[in-house]
A and B are shown apart, each in its own frame.
Chain A
Amino acid sequence: MNRHLIAAADLSRDEALLILDTAEELARVSDRPIKKLPTLRGRTVVNLFFEDSTRTRISFEAAAKRLSADVINFSAKGSSVAKGESLKDTALTLEAMGADAVVIRHMAAGAPHRLAGWIQGHVVNAGDGMHEHPTQALLDAFTIRRRLRGTPSGGLDGLRVTLVGDVLHSRVARSNIALLNTLGAEVTVVAPPTLLPLAVDGWPCEVSYDLDAVLPKTDVIMMLRVQQERMNAAYFPSVREYSRRYGLDVARMAALPEHAIVMHPGPMNRGVEIAAEVADSSRSTIVEQVANGVSVRMAVLYLLLGGTDE
């Protein structure tokens, strides 16, 4: 494919599996006394974050450092962006500083794509508006494969994955639906009609409005965050009603098959889309997802930066 990772939808099955298999090997580095590899020594990775983030930025930073790359963190707050500098000028500044890769999070969909046209280095999308968040989808697929496949190799063929909640505003949902479909899983989205995009009919997934009907036929349930900050209109009558109809509580978790796992990309709204007891149960993979995120991002950085530049 290309020299950037902009969207999970761009990945072929072989490319996605190469990333997951590489991550599987790199995950062992976390268990070693020396959690570092010399592979990207002398390379510079810039974390360019125009939007708040805790886990994604820290995760990329840890991944780059474990590969011995130098990391420069840039957040829009307190920078020249606050004085009105454009994305292009910021990008050219980073280029002049010798960035070999730029990890970008931006509130506007398409910003990573524009950036890739301006700079020589590799661009990794760490979330752009309501478009995509490909490394989140990769780490989710990695987590599913580890938990539900005896040997962590191959695709996710035949697994039934249900995404619940704010699909409309969720780049995590878009990336996951694309990647899960590429890897052979069957995806169902469950949400209030107001939180589904108009074009959902064209997506490679089933649509349902009834969570309880879907639960028994689910191997993986992925709860999406209710994104209060992107909601400038009334999408549902009350948080309480949303929680009653679409939240995952203990009773609903009991309706899942015994082997099913519960995922959440974080940050969680406990008591809204997921009950605290569910989030802390042994079926929840939420903490694992964070650990796996580092391995998957190491794999992405290695595969983009580890070889020749031609």
Chain B
Amino acid sequence: MHARSGGQTPGAASPGDADHSVSPPQAGPQYETQPETQYKRVFEPDEIRRALTRIAHEILERTNGAGDILLLGIPTRGAPLAQRLATRAGEFEGRAIPWGSLDVTMYRDDLRLRPARALGKTELPPEGIDGRTVVIVDDVLYSGRTVRAALDALTDLGRPRAVQLAVLVDRGHRELPIRADYVGKNLPTSQREQVRVLLSEIDGEDAVLLGQGPESPESPGRTGALA
């Protein structure tokens, strides 16, 4: 049921978790609280801005002007990315592009591996998702399990005309047959490494960090109070 790809140490950070294992916003950037892990910046604020601008153009191009699209970000960091993409695409087209957020926690396949976790926000525009082209937006694409959960969650919310996927960073190591339609940066990594995306809305600055340290202890957010 929770089979994983081989080669992983039991108890290590599993790819499915790593995408969203970040704590809720706290004082100071995330990486300061984990001194044992050395991070280096692989993506500067200007590069993030340019990548999002390019993705916004690509979305408009691929969807013929984005007449029926809806951008849905996966909390925590997918949501501000969806908003930025919607704002940018809206500026190019001169009209508002709808966006929202889609929490996938209740659809994850690794819930039983960790204490119960707090839920993120799901906010859909009032017109819903039926018949629209939904672009799922996330910060890091890794195992693909989060996206799998998002596809299941969408099924329960309605019937989109098509679903596409936009990510800021694709770090490889897929465990499911899933690929992104729009990628900000392909970042070759080993499974021992950690990728952290910082966004100014949540972390106070924009950056993508690559951790070279020992295998990560999970940084549990606000979880497990009752478990």
Q: Which residues of A contact B (CB under 8 A)?
A: 1, 3, 5, 12, 14-15, 18-19, 21-22, 25-26, 28, 32-34, 36-39, 300, 302-309
Min C-beta distance of A221 to chain B, whole Å: 30
Q: Which of B106, B111, B152, B226 has the most CB of A within 10 A?
A: B226
Please report the C-alpha to C-alpha distance between residue A12 and residue B225 in the assembled complex, in whole angstroms: 9
Please report the C-alpha to C-alpha distance between residue A286 and residue B153 in the assembled complex, in whole angstroms: 32
A19-B107 contact in complex given A25-B122, A303-B116, A307-B117, C-beta closer than 8 Å: no
Name the B residues within 8 Å of A305 (CB-CB).
116
> Contacting B225 at CB < 8 Å: which of A26, A36, A37, A303?
A303
> Contacting B115 at CB < 8 Å: which of A33, A34, A308?
A308
Please report the C-alpha to C-alpha distance between residue A38 and residue B152 in the assembled complex, in whole angstroms: 9
Whether A303 lies near B227 (C-beta < 8 A) is yes
Name the B residues within 8 Å of A21 (CB-CB).
118-119
Please report the C-alpha to C-alpha distance between residue A19 and residue B224 in the assembled complex, in whole angstroms: 11
New A-B pairs, 14, CB < 8 Å, besides A14-B225, A21-B119, A25-B122 = A1-B225, A12-B225, A18-B118, A18-B226, A28-B122, A33-B157, A34-B156, A37-B107, A38-B152, A303-B225, A303-B226, A306-B106, A307-B114, A307-B116
A304-B227 contact in complex given A25-B121, A37-B106, C-beta closer than 8 Å: yes
Min C-beta distance of A12 to chain B, whole Å: 8
Is B3 among interface residues, defined by CB-CB distance under 8 A? Answer: no
Name the A residues within 8 Å of B117 (CB-CB).
306-307
Whether A308 lies near B113 (C-beta < 8 A) is yes
Look across to chain A and name the residue whose beta carbon is closest to the beta carbon of B107: A38
Is B112 among interface residues, defined by CB-CB distance under 8 A? Answer: yes
Please report the C-alpha to C-alpha distance between residue A310 and residue B107 in the assembled complex, in whole angstroms: 21
Whether B226 lies near A300 (C-beta < 8 A) is yes
A302-B106 contact in complex given A28-B122, A308-B112, C-beta closer than 8 Å: yes
Task: Render B127-155 as a binary contact track against A, CB cut-off 8 A, 1 for contact.
Answer: 00000000000000000000000001000
Whether A304 lies near B107 (C-beta < 8 A) is no
Q: Which of B106, B111, B115 has the most CB of A within 10 A?
A: B106
Min C-beta distance of B203 to chain A, whole Å: 21
Q: Which of A3, A18, A33 has the most CB of B within 10 A?
A: A18
A22-B106 contact in complex given A14-B225, A307-B111, A308-B227, C-beta closer than 8 Å: no
The 7 closest A-B pairs by CB, nearest first: A307-B116, A303-B226, A306-B116, A307-B115, A25-B119, A307-B227, A15-B225
Mark out the residues of chain B between 203 and 227 whose CB falls within 8 Å of any chain A CB in the assembled complex. 222-227
Please report the C-alpha to C-alpha distance between residue A303 and residue B120 in the assembled complex, in whole angstroms: 14
Whether A306 lies near B111 (C-beta < 8 A) is yes
Name the A residues within 8 Å of B157 (CB-CB).
32-34
Look across to chain B and name the residue whose beta carbon is closest to the beta carbon of A304: B226
Mark out the residues of chain B between 69 and 101 whose CB falls within 8 Å of any chain A CB in the assembled complex. none
Name the A residues within 8 Å of B65 (CB-CB).
none
Is B170 among interface residues, defined by CB-CB distance under 8 A? Answer: no
Whether A38 lies near B106 (C-beta < 8 A) is yes
Is B103 among interface residues, defined by CB-CB distance under 8 A? Answer: yes
Is B45 among interface residues, defined by CB-CB distance under 8 A? Answer: no
> Contacting B227 at CB < 8 Å: which of A3, A25, A33?
A3
